[in-house]
Amino acid sequence: MGLFDFARDIGKKIFGKEEEAPAALQQHIEEDNPGVSGLKVEVKDGVATLSGEAKSAEALEKAVLMAGNALGIQEVKADGISVSDGSQVGGDDEFYTIKKGDTLWGIAEHAYGNGAKYAKIVEVNREVIKDANKIFPGQKIRIPKNI
């Protein structure tokens, strides 16, 4: 997974000054450890660079979304993360950027034809959606193809 773009001025406030960002983002990701070991985070000019080893492509995607959905981060590079199980990033998922007026019900209705399946979206994004009632425009989430 190379570069992933995010909205720099939107997101969860995790750090104050950019020099605090590497340690703060690393702690943020490790708190809900999505399956990345030996994680190292660097941040320069709003670009977060992640390195380490992910147990799966899903774990890598979650770490990228956790870093990228932080206020002050506009891009995430994850070329430094290897995937140990050989799975491919984006294989079973799509990425969606939440727009003004979106609801998880509406996103699920569009993606699956059934709004009640929003719970699956929340489940696979539990690291970035802590409260199903608190999503925000610009936030990126994973939409699993197969549910």
Please provide the average confidence, as pLDDT, over all residues in the chain: 92
Number of Cβ atoms within 10 Å of the Cβ of 130: 11
Q: What is the CATH number of the domain that holds 139?
A: 3.10.350.10
**What does the alpha-carbon distance between residue 77 and residue 42 come to, in Å, rounded to a whole number?**
10
Total domains in the chain come to 2
pLDDT per residue over 15-70, tens digit each? Answer: 999 999 999 999 999 999 889 999 999 999 999 999 999 999 999 999 999 999 99
Q: Which is more confidently placed, 93 or 59? A: 59
Domain membership of residue 136 (yes or no) is yes
Q: Which is more confidently placed, 51 or 146? A: 51
Say yes or no: 66 and 106 in one domain.
Answer: no
pLDDT per residue over 103-113, tens digit each? Answer: 999 999 999 99
**Tokens linked to 73:** 């981060």
**What does the alpha-carbon distance between residue 142 and residue 46 come to, in Å, rounded to a whole number?**
22
If you search the block for the tokens 């030996």, which residue do you land on? 38
pLDDT of residue 130 exceeding 70: yes
**What does the alpha-carbon distance between residue 67 and residue 75 come to, in Å, rounded to a whole number?**
9
What pLDDT does 121 receive? 96
What pLDDT does 112 receive? 95
User: Residue 49: helix, strand or coil by DSSP?
Assistant: strand
Say yes or no: 128 and 102 in one domain.
Answer: yes
Q: Which is more confidently placed, 93 or 40? A: 40
Domain membership of residue 60 (yes or no) is yes
Q: Which is more confidently placed, 146 or 133? A: 133
Q: What is the CATH number of the domain that holds 70?
A: 3.30.1340
Closest C-alpha among 73, 87, 106, 79 to residue 7:
73
Q: Which domain holds residue 74?
A: 3-83
**What does the alpha-carbon distance between residue 43 and residue 129 come to, in Å, rounded to a whole number?**
23
Strands (E), 12-139: 36-44, 47-54, 75-83, 93-97
Say yes or no: 11 and 49 in one domain.
Answer: yes
Say yes or no: 112 and 49 in one domain.
Answer: no
In this prediction, what percent of the chain has a pLDDT beyond 90? Answer: 78
Domain membership of residue 88 (yes or no) is no
Length of the chain: 147
Q: Which of 64, 83, 102 is the last residue of a domain?
A: 83
